[in-house]
Amino acid sequence: MIKQLLRSFHPLEQLERKRINEIKKGVLPNSCSILFEYPIPSPDTLIEDIEFIVLDFETTGLDSYNDEILSVGSVNIKNQILSLSSAQHFYMLAANAIKPETAVINHILPEVLIGGCTEKECMEKLVLSLAGKVVVAHCAEIEQRFLRRALALSHDTPLPIVFLDTLKLEKSLSDYWGQAKPDLRLSEIRQKKGLPPYLAHNAFADAVATGELFLVLIKEIFSEKRVTIGELLSRSQSS
């Protein structure tokens, strides 16, 4: 009884109840109604039974209300295999939103966005890819905030997606205990682990780089143990 009670407070169980409650209301957001069709995995679901999608947004800044998404990159992981054939990379029609200070970093210039898709078109494609999957991102809060804004979700509407954060997974390692401000940039972590350098601040390259890091972290944290999504989420939220 106590075990069942504690389980009911698990973040995954709480998100599943929110998903069901939203369905019962009978008015799902048009922008992402398909996301509500897929149940949230239970905490004891093995990760080998879950399909992941690694997501990266390049934006004009970190303010999801005043900044814009410039490009989106994603790639799928299943059975701890990163599938490059599943990769997607979209540019947005947002040339007017480009800021000099971020263009220097991500090298996205107005001419790069010619022929891109509108944010609505991109989100329609992306939502289809996200449905039924667990999202992995580096500093996942950024992707989560911008995704909510792009889908025009109200404050009290749940986003029925589980997010895992490679930054927090890395920070949970004992190497960082006692460090006030460790360098947790994606490129720095990859270098530390002997992973090859990729083009930084490119949505497609960063999605692949994050996916590779995610697979390395699973092995580093859990060794050969069979891992549940509940255990993985706990480590991803522990920092």
CATH number at residue 218: 3.30.420.10
Full domain range(s) for residue 162: 2-236
Q: Please give the average per-residue pLDDT across 216-231, as a whole number.
A: 94
Q: 140: closest CA among 57, 69, 213, 74?
A: 57
Cα distance between residue 200 and residue 186, in whole Å: 9
- Residue 76: left if φ>0, alpha if ψ -120 to 50, beta else—which one? beta
- How many C-alpha atoms does 217 have within 13 Å on its Cβ side? 27
Tally of domains in the chain? 1
Neighbours of 43 (CB within 10 A): 17
Look at residue 104 and tell me whether its pLDDT is greater than 70.
no
Residue 149 has pLDDT above 50, yes or no: yes
Q: Helix crossing, 229-236 with 11-25: angle to 10°?
A: 100
pLDDT tens for 152-170 read 999 899 999 999 999 999 9
If you average pLDDT over residues 65-87, what whole number do you get? 93
Going by pLDDT thresholds of 50, 70 and 90, the confidence category of residue 109 is very low
Mean pLDDT along residues 161-181: 89
pTM reported for the whole predicted model: 0.89
Q: Which residue has the higher pLDDT, 148 or 5?
A: 148
Most confident of 24-33, 100-109, 209-218: 209-218
Percent of the chain residues past pLDDT 70, beyond the cut: 86
Mean pLDDT of 199-222: 94
Residue 13: pLDDT band (50, 70, 90) is very high
Mean pLDDT (whole number) for 75-104: 77
More confident residue, 178 or 40: 40
User: Residue 49 above 80 pLDDT?
Assistant: yes
- What is the pLDDT confidence band of residue 52, given thresholds at 50, 70 and 90? very high
Q: Angle, to 10 degrees, between the axis of helix 203-222 and the axis of helix 229-236?
A: 110
Of residues 34 and 236, the one with the higher pLDDT is 34
- pLDDT of residue 118 exceeding 80, the answer is yes
